[in-house]
């Protein structure tokens, strides 16, 4: 499926020109998304990366799946998009770090925090991945604009990802789409065996 040029850092595995595509819709504060993220890192990236079995044949696109019933979901996805803008080569590393510390951004831990405090905590996590020297730039991207309801610098990117999910009927995370069709059979619990067997029947 399509991906606007500014979001190319969201191609997290495989070559951008690969003919087949796995679009994986994940929410940073969803435990099942976190499980699937580990499979992406441990199974799919090696298979689709340089020298991998499917190198040049499949790419994986991270699709931000904001789930607004979790209050902090918007903030964590803004943070991911901010890293994609400031340090695009670190987007996946930051995503993994965020999944591993997702409990800090669950409903109860964030229930007494202001949006500014949540963003400051995300900036600390981002700095551990992209470097302390880029922390100020990260916070600047997530600073509210001068207009009362204008959002932040990555609000338009966030809108794009949400509209993309809506128009394609994606409702839950994780959801995997292969070459444009939802693959409901894929489970967040899949390991190397399940993924390799499934891919063997799908890759052209």
30 phi/psi in degrees, rounded to 5: -105, 120
pLDDT in tens, 52-105: 999 999 999 999 999 999 999 999 999 999 999 999 999 999 999 999 999 999
Report the mean per-residue pLDDT for the chain.
96
Q: What is the CATH number of the domain that holds 193?
A: 3.40.30.10
140 phi/psi in degrees, rounded to 5: -65, -40
pLDDT in tens, 3-60: 999 999 999 999 999 999 999 999 999 999 999 999 999 999 999 999 999 999 999 9
Total of domains in the chain:
1
The 3 state secondary structure assigned to the chain is CCCCHHHHHHEEECCCCCCEEEEEEECCCCHHHHHHHHHHHHHHHHHHCCCCCCCCCEEEEEEECCCCCCCCHHHHHHHHHHHHHHCHHHHHHHHHHHHHCHHHHCHHHHCCCCHHHHHHHHHHHHHHHHCHHHHHHHHHHCCCCCCCCCCCCCHHHHHHHHHHHHHCCCCCCCEEEECCEECCCCCCCCCHHHHHHHHHCCCC
pLDDT value, residue 164 = 96
Q: Is the pLDDT of residue 144 over 90?
A: yes
Q: How confident is the model at residue 204 (pLDDT cuts 50, 70, 90)?
A: confident
Length of the chain: 204
**β-pair type (20-26, 58-64):** parallel
Burial of 86 (0-12, 13-18, 19+ CB in 10 A): buried
- The domain of 191 spans 5-200
């Amino acid at each position: 499926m399509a991906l606007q040029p500014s979001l190319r850092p969201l191609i997290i595995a495989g070559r951008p020109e690969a003919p087949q595509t796995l679009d994986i819709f994940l929410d940073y504060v969803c435990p099942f998304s976190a499980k699937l993220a580990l499979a992406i890192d441990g199974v799919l990236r090696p298979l689709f990366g340089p020298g991998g079995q499917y190198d040049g044949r499949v790419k994986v696109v991270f699709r931000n799946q904001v789930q607004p019933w979790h209050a902090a979901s918007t903030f964590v996805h803004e943070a991911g998009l901010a890293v994609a803008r400031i340090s695009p080569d670190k987007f996946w590393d930051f995503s993994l770090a965020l999944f591993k510390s997702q409990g800090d951004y669950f409903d109860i831990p964030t229930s007494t925090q202001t949006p500014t405090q949540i963003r400051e905590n995300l900036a600390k996590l981002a700095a551990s991945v992209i470097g302390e020297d880029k922390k100020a730039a990260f916070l600047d991207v997530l600073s509210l604009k001068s207009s009362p309801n204008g959002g932040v610098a990555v609000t338009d990117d966030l809108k794009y990802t949400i509209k993309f999910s809506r128009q394609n009927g994606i409702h839950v995370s994780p959801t995997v789409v292969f070459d444009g069709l939802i693959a409901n059979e894929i489970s967040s619990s899949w390991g190397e065996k399940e993924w390799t067997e499934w891919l063997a029947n799908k890759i052209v």
